């Protein structure tokens, strides 16, 4: 693992349920962990036609150093923020369980 390649800052957010003053429950995204990552994947945007519109369907992989916080990340309750864009986590690869790095395979969210 080349640490010098981890030159981009990402924020991993967690989906949480919050309760307001009158007892309403809402889902919110809260910052869970911020770290540097190596970004790899499609360098150009992968566009395709969907319902008569051209949409961006980029898939990007983020490689981060292993830590206890990153070990708790799964595909259901977490997402990645990178350059003010939102990416859903599709897969978490523990890289042969060596506890050195984790790879998060993500898809850009359509808004």
Q: Does the pTM exceed 0.85?
A: no
Q: Is pLDDT at 55 greater than 90 in this prediction?
A: no
**Domains (range + CATH), the chain:** 3-108 (2.40.10.270)
Q: Calculate mean pLDDT across residues 82-103.
A: 93
Q: Calculate mean pLDDT across residues 57-80.
A: 92
Could you please report the per-residue DSSP string of the chain? Answer: --GGG--EEEEEEEEEEEE-TT--EEEEEEEEEEEEEEEEE-SS--EEEETTEEEE--EEEEEEE--HHHHT--SSSEEEEETTEEEEEEEEE-TTT-SSEEEEEEEEPP-
Query: So what's the pLDDT on residue 53?
Result: 65
Q: Calculate mean pLDDT across residues 32-42.
A: 90
């Amino acid at each position: 693992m080349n640490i010098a390649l981890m030159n981009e800052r990402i924020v991993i957010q967690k989906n949480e349920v919050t309760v307001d003053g009158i007892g309403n429950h809402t889902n919110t995204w809260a910052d869970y962990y911020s770290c540097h990552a190596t970004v790899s994947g499609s360098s150009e945007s992968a566009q395709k036609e969907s319902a008569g519109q051209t949409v961006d369907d980029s898939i990007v992989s983020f490689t981060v150093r292993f830590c206890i916080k990153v070990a708790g990340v799964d595909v259901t309750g977490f997402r990645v923020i990178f350059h003010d864009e939102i990416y859903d986590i599709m897969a978490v690869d523990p890289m042969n369980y060596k506890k050195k790095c984790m790879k998060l395979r993500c898809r850009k969210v359509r808004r």
